[in-house]
A = this chain, B = another copy of it.
Amino acid sequence: MNKTEEKSLKEQIIDAARKVLLAKGYRNFSLRKIAGEIDVSATSIYLHFENKDDLVHTLMEEAIARLNKQLEQKVAEVDDPISKLEALAREYVSFALKHPREYQVIYLISSDEMTRYPKEKFRKARKGYEIVTDVLKEGVESGLIAESRPRLAAYTFWAQLHGVMSVVLSKRLDNRIEQEEFIEEAIDHIIKGYQLRTSL
């Protein structure tokens, strides 16, 4: 690895931070541990990030980008809008199950628990909503979905999915309920909420 290929300290910090987060969870995610991971002093993190929240925001941004990328791929594989909606939901779920800690970084942090997620980054995060919005619009055009405000609906769709995965990941499901069944049922209900109601 020659000089130009070497990762900048900023990149190294991000890598180390991701590693610590995935390995130990947010609760044990500390600047000193991150710094120790790359044999550097904890204070040097401040040369590249405003503070701890700023670093976390960077990880959030990354995780969101990854999720969005996967959603984009999946949605391109199907044709009709209802199937697309289902594909989106399933990919969303699958991401949360495969990368629970990363998923939780995206969401766990709420209003007063952390500095507001900065506006510039938030814009990128909206990509996911755009994908859903487009699918909903498509569905309206082809007469399968009744929805006068697709962007608004995209947010409700997303929120519902998040709620479902949040319950699963925080392990709040009743023992008597099987996780997979729960997810299936939820996806089914969520999609039904957007389908046009006609006689069967």
Contacts and interface: CB of A to CB of B under 8 A. Distances in A.
Interface of A: 25-27, 100-101, 104, 107-114, 116-117, 122, 126, 129, 149, 151-153, 155-164, 166-167, 169-174, 176-177, 181-182, 185-186, 188-194, 197-200
Contacts of A152: 177, 181-182, 185
21 contacts: A27-B112, A108-B110, A111-B169, A111-B170, A116-B171, A152-B177, A155-B167, A156-B185, A158-B167, A159-B160, A159-B167, A160-B186, A162-B163, A162-B166, A162-B167, A163-B163, A163-B166, A189-B190, A192-B192, A192-B193, A197-B198
Given A110-B170, A113-B26, A159 B186 contact: yes
